[in-house]
Amino acid sequence: MPRPKGSVNKITSEIKEKIADLVSNVFETLDPNTRFYSADILHNDLTSDFEDTSVGSYAIKGDYLDNDCNLTLSVTLSDYGSPVLSNGTHNVTSINLISSSTNETIWSIEGNFSGTYSSQFNDETVSLSGSYRNVLYTYQD
């Protein structure tokens, strides 16, 4: 005998309840404050300009690179348009030559960074710190 029109389907109700529980559990595990960041490091393109570069402190900015100095680190946050960066530090801890040919030289560079980002749109601030290891290519003159 079919169920009467307009009556609750018990199986459908149970499935909806399980889906609701599953979705609720998923959203409880998501951190709404989580965001991603991207980093880029500017370096001199010519080997002759880069080869005397040494470890130490270098500039860091919270926006995109635009004609900045050698080894300036740019760290941008996914949802901060042009944030204000304060207390920023960027330390290059290792620069090693990997290989060299008549056309290019390959370098390994390592460092760490930190800073506090303030949004221009609200009162939110985010402290961010990390380390990196990157391969850089310079070209012969």
The two structure tokens encoding residue 29: 């595990």
- Total domain count for the chain? 1
Beta pairing, strands 104-118 & 125-139: antiparallel
pLDDT (tens digit, 0 to 9) for every residue of the chain, 141 residues total? 555 555 555 555 565 565 555 544 443 443 445 566 777 888 888 999 998 899 999 888 776 666 668 888 887 776 655 667 778 889 999 999 999 999 999 999 999 988 888 877 777 787 888 888 888 899 988
Sheet holding 125-139, edge to edge: 56-57, 84-100, 104-118, 125-139
Within-domain flag for 17? no
Report the chain's C-alpha Rg in angstroms: 25
pTM: 0.68
25, part of any domain: no
Q: Does residue 5 form part of some domain? A: no
User: What pLDDT, on the 0 to 100 scale, is given for residue 118?
Assistant: 80
Residue type, 23: V
Query: Are residues 106 and 69 in contact, defined by beta-carbon separation less than 8 angstroms?
Result: no
Q: What residue numbers bound the domain in which 81 lies?
A: 37-139
* Beta pairing partners, 76: 38
Q: Is 119 a member of any domain? A: yes
22 inside domain: no
Q: Is residue 11 part of a domain?
A: no
For residue 56, being part of any structural domain is answered with: yes
Q: Is residue 14 part of a domain?
A: no
Contact between 57 and 72 (Cβ < 8 Å):
no
pLDDT at 17: 62
* Integer Cα distance of 115 and 132 in angstroms: 15
